[in-house]
Amino acid sequence: MNLSQFDDADNCDARPVAKDTCLAFPGHSRLEWTFAVNGWIFGAMIGSLCCGHFSDRLGRKKTLMLNCIFIIAGGVVQASVSYIWLFALGRLIAEIASGTATATISGYINELSPPHMRNTLGLGLQIFTTFGILVPAICFFFLNTSSG
């Protein structure tokens, strides 16, 4: 559903297709792909809200190191399954870990940086994270066509 060349209304209407089969990956409903594609938002929210307890208890560095296990586990689940709901679960696991990393790293940078650079490094992290999200969205907006 993210790639409009695979889910274009004109393209789908040009030939007879069964209901819910003109999707990026045929054979799955829109509900299944909604969970698979958007589960990362929910996972990142959970990870960022729950990481404070582990960061305070284990320390920022150890939390980030242990978090790598969950990022790898989520990636392995996504790459190895063929069932859509398990794929969505793998995305959820990976994004809980990504939310944890994103929220923990700012505290870790503040702990490691010299006092005169804390504001600059903390702000730089947030600005470049935002640019990392914004630039692909802008490129997708301008480069997305029904022909690819």
Domain ranges of the chain: 28-143
Mean pLDDT of 55-59: 94
- The amino acid present at 145, given as its one-letter code, is T
- Here the tokens at position 17 are 């297709």
Non-local (6+) Cβ contacts of 8 within 8 A are 146
Is the per-residue pLDDT at 64 higher than 80?
yes
> ∠ at Cα 72 (86, 75), nearest 5°?
40
> With helix as H, strand as E and coil as C, how does the chain read?
CCCCCCCCHHHHHCCCCCCCCCCCCCCCCHHHHHHHHHHHHHHHHHHHHHHHHHHHHHCHHHHHHHHHHHHHHHHHHHHHCCCHHHHHHHHHHHHHHHHHHHHHHHHHHHHHCCHHHHHHHHHHHHHHHHHHHHHHHHHHHHHCCCCC
- Can you say how many angstroms the Cα of residue 6 is from the centroid of all Cα atoms in its chain? 21
| Residue 1 binned pLDDT confidence (cut-offs 50, 70, 90) | very low
Between these two residues, 79 and 9, which has the higher pLDDT value? 79
Distances (CA, A) of 121 to 69, 77, 103: 26, 34, 14
The CATH superfamily assigned to 28-143 is MFS general substrate transporter like domains (1.20.1250.20)
Indicate the average pLDDT of the chain.
83
Model pLDDT, residue 2: 41
Non-local (6+) Cβ contacts of 70 within 8 A are 93, 94, 96, 97, 100
Give 131-147 pLDDT, tens digit per residue. 998 998 898 888 876 55
Is the per-residue pLDDT at 13 higher than 80?
no
